[in-house]
Structure 1
Amino acid sequence: MQPRRLTAAALATLVLTGTAALAHPALAEPHTPATTAERAAAQPVPFTQAAAHLATDGSYTLSWSSPAAHVQVTAHTKPDASDPGTPLGSAAGTGTLTVPAGALAADRRWYFELTPDTGGAYVVAERSLGIASAKNFRDAGGYRTSDGRWVKYGIVYRSNKLSGLTAAEQQRVVDQGITHDIDLRNYFERKDEPDKVPAGVTYQVADVVSLAHGVSFHDPALMTLAQAIAAGLFSGSSDLGQSIGYPFMVNFVGADHAFKDLLTAVNSNTGATVYHCSAGKDRTGWGTAVLLTLLGVPRATVEADFLASNDYTGNPDAVELSWLRAAFAEVDHIYGSFDAYLHKGLGLDDATIQSLRNRLLTP
Structure 2
Amino acid sequence: MRIDYVEAFFLEDNQNELNIVTDIEDIGKYQLYWTYERNALTEDKEFILESDQKNQTFEFAYNTDRVNYFIIEFENHRPLLFGYRILPMSGMYNFRDIGGYRTEEGKRIKWGVGFRSDHLQNLNDDGFEFLRSIGLKSVIDFRSPFEVDKDPNPFFSEAAQAFNFDPQAHVAMAAGSAQNLDTSEDMKERALKAIASGETGAQQMVDQQLAFVDSPTSIEAFKQTLKTVAQAENIPTMQHCRGGKDRTGFALMVLEGLLGVPTSSLVYDYMLTNRARAKKNVSYYNRFLEETGNEKIAQYLYSLFDTKEEFICASIEKIVTNYGTIRQYAQIVLELSDEEISALEELFLEEE
For the aligned pair, the TM-score class normalised by the smaller chain equals: 0.7 to 0.9
The equivalent residue for 1:279 is 243
Deviation at 1:283, TM superposition (A): 0.5
When residues 47 and 242 of structure 1 are mapped into structure 2, their CA distance, relative to the original with a 3 A threshold, is closer
Q: Deviations over 1:251-277 (max 9, x none)?
A: 112212211222222221444111101
The one of 65, 75, 99 aligned to 2:34: 75
Asked if the contact 1:46/1:120 (under 8 Å) is kept, the reply is no
Deviation at 1:187, TM superposition (A): 0.8
Matches within 5 A, 1:54-73: 54-62=10-18, 64=20, 71-73=30-32
The equivalent residue for 1:203 is 162
Residues in 2 aligned to 1:87 and 1:121: alpha-carbon distance in whole angstroms: 14
When residues 337 and 87 of structure 1 are mapped into structure 2, their CA distance, relative to the original with a 3 A threshold, is closer
Asked if the contact 1:180/1:269 (under 8 Å) is kept, the reply is no
The equivalent residue for 2:152 is 194
When residues 149 and 186 of structure 1 are mapped into structure 2, their CA distance, relative to the original with a 3 A threshold, is same
When residues 265 and 57 of structure 1 are mapped into structure 2, their CA distance, relative to the original with a 3 A threshold, is same
When residues 159 and 360 of structure 1 are mapped into structure 2, their CA distance, relative to the original with a 3 A threshold, is same
The one of 320, 323, 345 aligned to 1:357: 345
Matches within 5 A, 1:96-115: 99-102=58-61, 105=63, 107-115=65-73
When residues 106 and 170 of structure 1 are mapped into structure 2, their CA distance, relative to the original with a 3 A threshold, is closer
Deviation at 1:189, TM superposition (A): 0.8
SS in 1 for 2:218: helix
Q: Deviations over 1:133-158 (max 9, x none)?
A: 32111111232223333222211110
The equivalent residue for 1:17 is none
When residues 117 and 319 of structure 1 are mapped into structure 2, their CA distance, relative to the original with a 3 A threshold, is closer
SS in 1 for 2:103: coil
The one of 140, 154, 160 aligned to 1:182: 140
Residues in 1 aligned to 2:52 and 2:155: alpha-carbon distance in whole angstroms: 42
Asked if the contact 1:208/1:249 (under 8 Å) is kept, the reply is yes
Residues in 2 aligned to 1:61 and 1:190: alpha-carbon distance in whole angstroms: 36
When residues 118 and 253 of structure 1 are mapped into structure 2, their CA distance, relative to the original with a 3 A threshold, is same
The one of 82, 87, 100 aligned to 1:124: 82
Instruction: Name the structure where helix makes up a greater proportion of residues.
Output: 2
Asked if the contact 2:31/2:49 (under 8 Å) is kept, the reply is yes
Q: Identity of aligned pairs, percent?
A: 24
Matches within 5 A, 1:241-320: 241-270=204-233, 271-314=235-278, 315=281, 317=303, 318-320=306-308
Q: Which has the higher contact order (CA 8 A, sep 6+)?
A: 1
Asked if the contact 2:41/2:79 (under 8 Å) is kept, the reply is no
Deviation at 1:89, TM superposition (A): 5.6
The equivalent residue for 2:102 is 144
Range with bigger deviation, 181-190 or 347-356? 347-356
Letter in structure 2 aligned against 1:239: A
SS in 1 for 2:108: coil
The equivalent residue for 2:298 is none
Asked if the contact 2:231/2:343 (under 8 Å) is kept, the reply is no
SS in 1 for 2:109: coil
Residues in 2 aligned to 1:120 and 1:283: alpha-carbon distance in whole angstroms: 36
When residues 49 and 244 of structure 1 are mapped into structure 2, their CA distance, relative to the original with a 3 A threshold, is closer
Deviation at 1:206, TM superposition (A): 1.5
Q: Deviations over 1:36-79 (max 9, x none)?
A: xxxxxxxxx95345222322111334354678865444322133
Letter in structure 2 aligned against 1:355: A
Residues matched between the structures, number: 295
Range with bigger deviation, 279-288 or 297-306? 297-306
Q: Which blocks of at least 5 consecutive residues in structure 1 are unaligned?
A: 1-44, 211-228
SS in 1 for 2:88: coil
Deviation at 1:303, TM superposition (A): 1.1
The one of 314, 321, 328 aligned to 2:316: 328
Residues in 2 aligned to 1:266 and 1:85: alpha-carbon distance in whole angstroms: 31
Residues in 1 aligned to 2:4 and 2:161: alpha-carbon distance in whole angstroms: 36
Deviation at 1:183, TM superposition (A): 0.6
TM-score (norm 2): 0.73
When residues 132 and 169 of structure 1 are mapped into structure 2, their CA distance, relative to the original with a 3 A threshold, is closer
Asked if the contact 2:90/2:126 (under 8 Å) is kept, the reply is no
Q: Deviations over 1:88-114 (max 9, x none)?
A: 066467667765344x64544310122
The equivalent residue for 1:7 is none
When residues 352 and 93 of structure 1 are mapped into structure 2, their CA distance, relative to the original with a 3 A threshold, is farther
Letter in structure 2 aligned against 1:59: Q
When residues 105 and 137 of structure 1 are mapped into structure 2, their CA distance, relative to the original with a 3 A threshold, is closer
